[in-house]
Amino acid sequence: MRGKKINWSNVTQGKLTVLREVGKNKHGSILWECLCSCGAVVNKSSDVLKAEGDVAKWEGKAKVRFWIIVSLFLLGLLVGLVSHLNILCINA
């Protein structure tokens, strides 16, 4: 059973901006005319639009995780450097 119909007009999902509803595909899913960030106009079903949004959210979270890891690595290097300098100062 399908849920409520979502109006995707003027919504951006991933690299696609939905322009308007254009009909249904052979499976009965609603098709939407979309403008891709590359400039192409394509027709996508609601299922694909939902998946595009999920991918965009995942990519955003992955970027945040990457920068957290980089920050922790750099912090570890800084702490190691400070510890090394303290040892040099104590032994001098």
In-domain check, residue 62: yes
Report how far residue 70's alpha carbon sits from residue 80's, in angstroms, rounded to the nearest whole number: 15
> What confidence tens digit (pLDDT) does each residue in 9-52 have?
888 877 888 899 999 988 888 899 999 888 999 888 887 877 76
Are β-strands 12-13 and 16-24 bridged in parallel, bridged antiparallel, or unpaired?
A: antiparallel
Q: Which domain holds residue 35?
A: 12-91
What pTM was estimated for this model as a whole? 0.52
In-domain check, residue 5: no
In-domain check, residue 72: yes
Q: What total of structural domains would you count in the chain? A: 1
In-domain check, residue 6: no
CB atoms within 10 A of CB 13: 21
| pLDDT attached to residue 1 | 40
